[in-house]
Amino acid sequence: MTIPASLLSLFPAVAFRRAAGVSMGTACSPEESRLIWARTVEVHSTLTKSRRRHSLGVDFLLRYLEWDCALYKSLREFGLDKEHAGALVETINWAALGPAIRVFFSFSRLRSAVLKTRVRWVLDMMFRALFTHPFRRRVLPSDEGLAFDVTVCPLAQFFREQGVPELTHYAACSLDWKMARDWGVELKRTRTIAEDHPLCDFRFKVPPRQTPKNPRS
């Protein structure tokens, strides 16, 4: 029986390995892929020995980030530059996590037919279940859609501690744009903690035709 990709996302090691196999197969020869993955497993085993414990949601996300970090370091060892290694990690992460995000958003139709309400509901659920302590979010008023600032990001901290701060953009930040595109909204963000700013300014703009007349809707 084939397990749907959306369910595989619940198992970081399995989902990441499957997505990595497909993406690496198009970027490397079979022999190179085998060697890179073998090295990735070695690097990953060292990362698991120094795990920090946070909330359940953040710990779940960090399981993906450990694989991201291990693969990225392995790709760099095998000669890929930062941009290409990071882009491959980005592709793999979206292939592993994107299906679950799409399914979750589809369920928001049960909450409302209004796009702004749906997006707000999904974001709130994400910050209740995944982006939990030590994440910190400050919600702001917005006439165009939804706005908030993230003032503490353990994901950026993890990559910084591993000596690859540039990987935060590819492994985490870039997925926000893909997510917004799938939702049919526009994301504007001018600064991130990963870029050494004090916060990440998330501004989701909902298309005018989808913006309710009553701002409380």
Quote the tokens at residue 148.
Answer: 């908030």
183 part of a folded domain: yes
Cα(159)–Cα(153) distance, integer angstroms: 11
146 part of a folded domain: yes
Domain count, the chain: 1
The percent of residues above 70 in pLDDT, for the chain, comes to 91
Residue located via tokens 């414990």: 53
Q: Is the pTM of this model over 0.85?
A: yes
Would the pLDDT of 10 be above 70?
no
Say what the pLDDT of residue 144 is: 85
Reported as a pLDDT band with limits 50, 70 and 90, residue 27 is confident
Would the pLDDT of 2 be above 70?
no
Say what the pLDDT of residue 217 is: 42
Would the pLDDT of 165 be above 60?
yes
The model's pLDDT over 98-128, given as tens digits with 9 standing for 90+, comes to 999 999 999 999 999 999 999 999 999 999 9
Would the pLDDT of 26 be above 90?
no
193 part of a folded domain: yes
157 part of a folded domain: yes
- Per the prediction, the chain carries an average pLDDT of 91
Say what the pLDDT of residue 50 is: 86
Q: What DSSP line would sit under the chain, residue for residue?
A: -PPPHHHHTTSHHHHHHHHHHHHHHHHS-HHHHHHHHHHHHHHHHHHHTTPPP--HHHHHHHHHHHHHHHHHHHHHHTT--HHHHHHHHHHHHHHHHHHHHHHHHHHGGGT-S-HHHHHHHHHHHHHHHTS-TT-EEEEE--SSEEEEEEEE-HHHHHHHHTT-TTHHIIIIIHHHHHHHHHHT-EEE----GGGT-S-EEEEEEPPGGGS-SSTT-
Reported as a pLDDT band with limits 50, 70 and 90, residue 145 is very high
Q: Is residue 186 a contact partner of residue 193, using CB atoms and an 8 Å limit?
A: no
Say what the pLDDT of residue 8 is: 52
The percent of residues above 90 in pLDDT, for the chain, comes to 82
- Identity (one letter) of the amino acid at 196? D
State which residues form the domain around 59.
5-210
Say what the pLDDT of residue 131 is: 97
Q: What is the mean pLDDT of residues 171-181?
A: 97
Would the pLDDT of 134 be above 80?
yes
190 part of a folded domain: yes
24 part of a folded domain: yes
216 part of a folded domain: no
Would the pLDDT of 180 be above 90?
yes
Would the pLDDT of 3 be above 70?
no
215 part of a folded domain: no
Say what the pLDDT of residue 181 is: 97
Between 1 and 132, the more confident residue is 132
